[in-house]
A and B are shown apart, each in its own frame.
Chain A
Amino acid sequence: MSQIFHHSANTLVRMTMVGVAVIVGGVGWVAYEFQQSAYQTRATQPREQPIPFSHVHHVGGLGLDCRYCHTTVETSSFANIPPTKTCMNCHSEIWATSPTLEPVRASFRTGASIQWTRVHDLPDFVYFNHGIHVAKGVGCETCHGRVDRMPLTWQENTLQMNWCIDCHRNPEKAVRPREFITSMGYQPTGNQEEIGRRLVQEYKIQDARTLTSCSTCHR
C-alpha cells in the first residue's frame, strides 16, 4: 500500500503546529495590549467639558490647594465636584463678564447644575474610597498624575484592577507624608522605599494580604 500523504506533509504539520501557537498567542497578546491601551481605558485623553476648566491655571498658576474645591476628599468616599457657588467665590469679580464663563453664571442664577463630563468612571462593583487613601498618605498625584499640568482634565492611569493591586501589594512604593498629600511634583527627601516602609508603619497601613483581599474593594 502506498503512502497516503506525500513526504512534504510532515513540514506542513509542523508549520501548522507552530502557526497555531503563534496565532493564538498573537491574538491573546493583541487583546491584552488592547484592553489596557489608552484607546480602551481612555487614559491620558483629555475630555471635552461644557466649560474649558483648566487645572493648569487654577492649580499650577494660582496655587490653589486641591481641597479648596474638592472639599470632601479627606472625609468621604467621593471627592466632590465643587458646587457652582465655589466657582463664584472668585468669578463673581474675576472674569465676571467673560462669555466663556456664562454657563457658570447661568448655573448660579438658575440653580441648575453644570453638566460636567465624568472623567474617572470606575465600574460600579468597585467601592473605592478617597478618604482612606488620603488619610493613609496616598497623594492626589499618585493616582491622578500632574493635574497642575492638565489644561483639560484627563485620567492619568488605566484604573484597571492590576494597577490598583500593584500598589495594594507594595504600598511603601507610593505613600508620602500626609503634609504633602496635595503637593504636585512631590519628591521624597530620601529613599522612597525606606520612607515608605516607615510611613506604612506609622499610618498603620494594613498588610498586603488584607489589602489584596477581594472584599477590600468588592462587596
Chain B
Amino acid sequence: MRTNLKLGALALAVAAVGAGCRQDMHDQPKFIPLRPSGFFGDSRSERPLITGTVARGHLKDDTAFYTGKGPDGKFVNEFPFPVTKEVVERGQQRFNIYCAPCHDATGAGYGMIVRRGYRHPPSYHIEQLRNVQNGYLYDVIANGFGAMPDYAAQVEPADRWAIVAYIRALQLSQNASINDVPAEARGQLSGQQAAGGGK
C-alpha cells in the first residue's frame, strides 16, 4: 500500500507540474508586438519612427500618387494607375469598411455613426462634390476635412485611390440617365424607376 501511495503522489505531482506551470519557453525574453518593455520610459517596445525617417526604397517622391497634387500644387484629376474593375471592387470593399460607417453605403451621409450623433457630412451627390478633382477626394481621405478625421493610418495610398474610383462610381449611380445605359440593355429597365431617376 505504501508503494501505491507513493505512486499516486508521484502521478499527482507529475500532473500538477505538467498542467500548472508556464515554462520560460512560453514567455521568452523577446519582444512580440505590443509586449511592454521595461527599457524605455513609455514602456513601448515598438518605437515610434523619428520624424523624417525614410525606409530604403520608400521615398515618396511620386507626389501625385502620395498627395493627389501635381508639381504646381493643384489637385490632379488623373488616376495614378489604370482603373480596372478590380480596382473599383477593392474600392467598394474598403469604402464599406472605412467610409460607410458615416457616409453610408450610398454616400448620402446617413451612416450609423452620423445617426448616433456625429456631424452630418455632405452627400457625395451634390453638384460641388461631383465636380471636384479626383486628387481632392484623395486628399480628404489622407488629411481629413472639416469634422472628418484623416484616414492616413487606416487606408493605404493605393486603397485611397481605389476608394476615390468607387466614390465616382457611386456618384454615377445616383446621377445616371437613360443615355448611360447601352441601347441593348435598356429593355431590361422597362417598368423600373431607374430609367427616370437621373438628371
Contact = CB atoms under 8 A, between A and B. Distances in A.
Given A31-B18, A123-B26, 7 more contacts: A23-B4, A24-B11, A62-B101, A85-B149, A90-B113, A93-B119, A123-B27
Contacts of A20: 4, 7
17 contacts: A23-B7, A27-B8, A27-B11, A31-B15, A35-B18, A35-B19, A63-B101, A64-B101, A67-B97, A68-B98, A68-B101, A80-B33, A90-B113, A94-B118, A113-B43, A115-B36, A124-B25
Given A71-B154, A85-B149, A123 B25 contact: yes
A89 interface: yes
Interface residues of A, number: 38
Interface in A11-33: 16, 19-20, 23-24, 27-28, 30-31
Nearest to A20: B4
B154 to A, nearest CB: 5
Interface residues of B, number: 38
Residue among A28, A89, A90, A92 with max Cβ neighbours from chain B (10 Å): A89
Given A71-B154, A92-B149, A118-B34, A63 B112 contact: yes
Given A27-B8, A68-B101, A124-B26, A112 B19 contact: no
A68 B15 contact: no
B42 interface: yes
Interface of A: 16, 19-20, 23-24, 27-28, 30-31, 34-35, 40, 62-65, 67-68, 71, 78, 80-81, 83, 85-86, 88-90, 92-94, 112-113, 115, 118, 123-125
A118 B45 CA distance: 15
